Structure 1
Amino acid sequence: MKSYKLGVLSGDGIGPEIVSATVDVFKAAAEKLDVKFNWTDLPMGWEAIDKYNDPTPQVTKEALLQCDGWIMGPHDSAAYPEEHKAKRNPSGELRHTLDLYANVRPAKTMPGTKSVVGEADLVIYRENTEGFYTDRNMYVGTGEWQITEDVVVSTGVFTRKAVERIAHAAFKMAMQRRKKVTIVHKANVIKLGTGLFKRVCLEVAQQYPEVTVDDYHIDAMTAHLVRRAKDFDVIVTENMFGDILSDLAGELVGSLGLAPSINTNENQAMAQAAHGSAPDIAGRNIANPIGIMLSTVMLMDWLSERHNDQKLSELGKLVENGINKTLEDGVKTGDLGGSASTSEFAEAIVDRIKSAVLN
């Protein structure tokens, strides 16, 4: 039986609490299904600064290359010492140096939560390596220059290679879902940059004739999400637009604290919740761990497909069902109107996993 090596980067703020809760839940599911994981703790964030004077040390990046995948907790880079603020934050560093070009962010209504838009089930494919994110769109350095004290130039970078691969990823997912892709851009104003994004996506679309395609300007798309989120299936867009849209979509379907994501290329995957480190509630055992748990469910699905191991997909579904059953039973953290602590919520999921009847 294959054993999968999974990195664990607990991170800052609420990270250690929600990541620990997630590992506990997945250990229970793995035991239930007889799946073998080798959990490997790796330093990131303040822990790594204290030990290596680097929030994303080389030792961690090298170790991740030997992992089948990993869980990444949130980071509090805004509070790092100035010398580290000048660098890419841990998330951006790993996405950039490991070329994790696809940031996949689902937004789906869940039981026992209050959705602003009713039923919705969509997934956003965000290009992760260039666009308007100036900390990762250059081979060396950043894509910003301060010309004078009062003048700054920030660049957006769009390449055919990057657009083609995120478009293919989005269309392949659409083929597994409702066969609809929405391209989001601003080609009416940023005619060359996002114009290239739109044009290349439409070229790729020709290879997927079964998929229905439409496109919207980013400003109009925010309104469409609010008015009719249920109409969308797969959305593909550039880096900054994808970041903004996915946060909006996550909040619309219940809470940004519920929003999962995964960062991938063909060979590696990183589970990472869409929310931040919430330092104001760190250490109080009240944070909602659902976002990172569902991100790890996505990691299981990715590993299942990559290694042709159906048990991993079953494990992810077991955890997802456990989360949904826990919510249906009224066990929730404070942000969802409940009273359960982080650890109590995780324990409730573990109880439901252990008592689940397997097919």
Structure 2
Amino acid sequence: MTQVTLIPGDGIGPEITEAVKAIFAAANVPVTWEEENAGQTTFDSIGELIPATLIASLEKNKVALKGPITTPVGKGFKSINVQLRQMFDLYSNVRPAKTTKGVNSRYENVNLVLFRENTEGLYAGLEMWDERLQISDSIARITRTGSEKIIRAAFEYAKKHGCKKVTVAHKANILKSAGALFLKVAGEIAKDYPEIQMEDKIIDNMCMQLVMKPEQFDVVVTTNLFGDILSDLCAGLVGGLGVVAGANIGDNMAIFEAVHGSAPDIAGKGIANPTALLRSAIMMLHHIDLKDEANRIEKALEATLANSAECTGDLGGKASTMEFAQNIIAKL
């Protein structure tokens, strides 16, 4: 049995977490959950956004599944997601985007994976405020080491999964230092993978190409801010944030997460769609080499998504969160 840290989050987080737990139990997945929490829920109860017990659990288990978490707004708190990524050097934010039968989309045959550098860039927190001149400066820190790690992770993924191309999205034409470094490192690493084509696209053209012909892309790698924007764009190509998985992966730890918000407006109503968290959990199973269980659950999920009547309201059905989970369980 593999022990996994489970972070339900808040809002709809506990509801979709229960759905995933039910599906895992029905599929006899050899995983045990060690439940800890973070965010608004723990702040209200014990005055801590990231409790020491959660950190200890993550350090012990090295793998976690996380629901959506609310960081209190307007109180000067740094994003909990960003803190966890930087605390454990989870430098790879991995976001697959694939069209699914039954899920409404303007596109067909989209099947790409985005690798977003997760710890530096404009999210490094290097900001300065000049009160006298009323000027705010934010520094986009790009390091050779950080670039090497995320770009190599993208190429290794492409090699492992038989992908033919890695696209490097950048702004080296304007960012003559930071952008150029990222692109230069990509060119160097690409030489280690002669069987994989490397191409580079300036970020504005990349956005246009994604909405014109997204099926041309395979694996995409980019810096933190660009990746944050592109990852949601890619989710929009295949049905939205409610149906895509996400993972934050480092050398020694991985946190798999639903990338959508906590949706407090529908919390407690039992109507939330658990697909994003379930797909993240399926990614987690692949990560810990439970591939048979992952494939079995994925097939049951896709069979259910293909029939909108068995899905939650956002997918065109009338099923509750747990009814949707039971429909998936029936297909295991």
Per the TM alignment, residue 68 of structure 1 is displaced from its structure 2 partner at its CA by 4.1
CA distance, structure 2, for counterparts of residue 347 and residue 217 of structure 1: 45
1:120-163, Cα deviation, whole Å (9 max, x unpaired): 10000001010111xxx2xxxx3111111721111110001011
Change (3 A) 1:245 1:81: closer
Q: Is 2:77 the partner of 1:57?
A: no
Which segment is superposed worse, 158-167 or 272-281?
272-281
Query: How many residue pairs are counted as aligned between the two chains?
Result: 329
* Residue 157 (structure 2) aligns with: 173
Question: Which of 123, 128, 134 in structure 2 is aligned with 1:145?
Answer: 128
1:40-87, Cα deviation, whole Å (9 max, x unpaired): 11021122113331111222111111114111111122xx265xx423
CA distance, structure 2, for counterparts of residue 88 and residue 19 of structure 1: 24
Q: Is 2:324 the partner of 1:324?
A: no
- Equivalence map 1:119-134=2 (5 Å): 119-133=109-123
* Residue 218 (structure 2) aligns with: 233
* Residue 147 (structure 2) aligns with: 163
* Residue 172 (structure 2) aligns with: 187
Mapped contact 2:103–2:306 kept (Cα < 8 A): no
Per the TM alignment, residue 88 of structure 1 is displaced from its structure 2 partner at its CA by 2.2
1:271-326, Cα deviation, whole Å (9 max, x unpaired): 1122111122111111111111101111111111xxxxxxx111111111110011
Mapped contact 2:235–2:244 kept (Cα < 8 A): yes
CA distance, structure 1, for counterparts of residue 231 and residue 282 of structure 2: 18
Gaps of 5+ in 2: none
TM-score of the aligned structures, taking structure 1 as reference length: 0.89
CA distance, structure 1, for counterparts of residue 73 and residue 233 of structure 2: 30
Mapped contact 1:104–1:263 kept (Cα < 8 A): yes
* Residue 206 (structure 1) aligns with: 191
1:253-278, Cα deviation, whole Å (9 max, x unpaired): 11221111111112211111221111
Mapped contact 1:105–1:246 kept (Cα < 8 A): yes
CA distance, structure 2, for counterparts of residue 155 and residue 277 of structure 1: 30
Tell me the amino acid that sits aligned with residue 71 of structure 1: L
Tell me the amino acid that sits aligned with residue 125 of structure 1: F
CA distance, structure 2, for counterparts of residue 273 and residue 81 of structure 1: 20
* Residue 6 (structure 1) aligns with: 4
Q: Percent identity among equivalent residues?
A: 40
SS at match of 1:286: coil
SS at match of 1:6: strand
CA distance, structure 2, for counterparts of residue 72 and residue 328 of structure 1: 26
CA distance, structure 2, for counterparts of residue 213 and residue 114 of structure 1: 31
Q: Is 2:238 the partner of 1:253?
A: yes
Which segment is superposed worse, 190-199 or 121-130?
190-199
> What RMSD over aligned residues (CA atoms) do the two structures have, in Å?
1.3
SS at match of 1:213: strand
Gaps of 5+ in 1: 305-311, 354-359
SS at match of 1:65: helix
Question: Which of 282, 285, 288 in structure 2 is aligned with 1:297?
Answer: 282
TM-score of the aligned structures, taking structure 2 as reference length: 0.96
* Residue 352 (structure 1) aligns with: 331
* Residue 97 (structure 2) aligns with: 107
CA distance, structure 1, for counterparts of residue 26 and residue 187 of structure 2: 44
SS at match of 1:178: coil
Which segment is superposed worse, 147-156 or 336-345?
147-156
SS at match of 1:276: coil
Tell me the amino acid that sits aligned with residue 28 of structure 1: A
Mapped contact 1:22–1:293 kept (Cα < 8 A): yes
* Residue 31 (structure 2) aligns with: 37
Which segment is superposed worse, 10-19 or 101-110?
10-19
